[in-house]
Amino acid sequence: MLNIVIFGAPGSGKGTQSEKIIEKYGLFHISTGDVLRAEIKNGTELGQIADRYISKGQLVPDELIVDMLAGVLDRNEETKKGVIFDGFPRTIPQAEALKKMLAERDTEVSAVIGLEVEEEELVDRLLKRGQVSGRSDDNLETIKSRLEVYHRQTTPLKDFYIQEQKYRKIHGSGSVDAIFDSIAEEIDNL
């Protein structure tokens, strides 16, 4: 059973590459950002709280995210066939919670695919996406705070997963298909 974490800064291509990974490997996709945006759209209590953090480019508190993720795993039988985690974990406590949740389900993270892209390119891509996404956080000011939050709170996870020998570095610039080929090579070698 494959459980893949797709890891990288905002704009590194996690969503795009997740779609291709699902197509080839048939994994269940969990994007915490997508789940939160659905909560906001449905006007739930979680959505109302999350909206305040997302619109400022800050992370939603760990307990809320971890509970939300556990709910998605419990509600969806298909997750037992393997999952691609997109946008989660984003902090060390989330990574520890994920390890525990998967161990309780007799499984573990198979690999962390780290998409590495230059900062300037990230900003360019996010600004371009902002012209069509309608997302409240794809504007220059919020993009800057999301990247700052990424460096401060999320990059320590790279060392966490290097220590666990799960981190696979992928050069995330170039054509979508060429990047996907490098990812598939890593997955096929697991």
Residue numbers at the binding site for ligand AMP (CB under 6 A): 10, 32-33, 36, 53-54, 57-60, 65, 87-88, 90, 94, 137, 146
Answer yes or no: 14 catalytic.
Answer: yes
| Least Å from the CB of residue 188 to ligand AMP | 26
- Which CB atom, from 32 or from 182, has the smaller least distance to ligand AMP? 32
On the question of a cis peptide bond just before residue 89, with omega within 30 degrees of 0, the verdict is: yes
Alpha carbons 51 and 40: distance in angstroms, whole number: 6
What SS3 class is residue 139? coil
Answer yes or no: 152 catalytic.
Answer: no
- Which CB atom, from 17 or from 32, has the smaller least distance to ligand AMP? 32
Alpha carbons 148 and 144: distance in angstroms, whole number: 6
Q: Maximum Cα–Cα distance for the chain, whole Å? A: 43
**37, 90, 166, 168: which one is catalytic?**
90
**37, 125, 146, 166: which one is catalytic?**
146
DSSP symbols for 14-60:
HHHHHHHHHHHH-PEEEEHHHHHHHHHHTT-HHHHHHHHHHTTTPPP
- Which CB atom, from 13 or from 87, has the smaller least distance to ligand AMP? 87
Answer yes or no: 52 catalytic.
Answer: no
**99, 105, 135, 158: which one is catalytic?**
135
Exposure letters 110-127 (e unless 16+ CB within 10 A, then b): bbbbbbebeeeebbebbe
| Least Å from the CB of residue 79 to ligand AMP | 16
The Cα-based distances of 46 to 41, 67, 110, 160 in angstroms read: 11, 11, 30, 29
- Which CB atom, from 111 or from 147, has the smaller least distance to ligand AMP? 147
| Least Å from the CB of residue 171 to ligand AMP | 21
Q: Scan for tokens 């054509």, then name that residue.
A: 175
Q: Which residue is nearest to ligand AMP (CB)?
A: 33
| Least Å from the CB of residue 82 to ligand AMP | 19
Catalytic machinery residues: 14, 90, 129, 135, 146
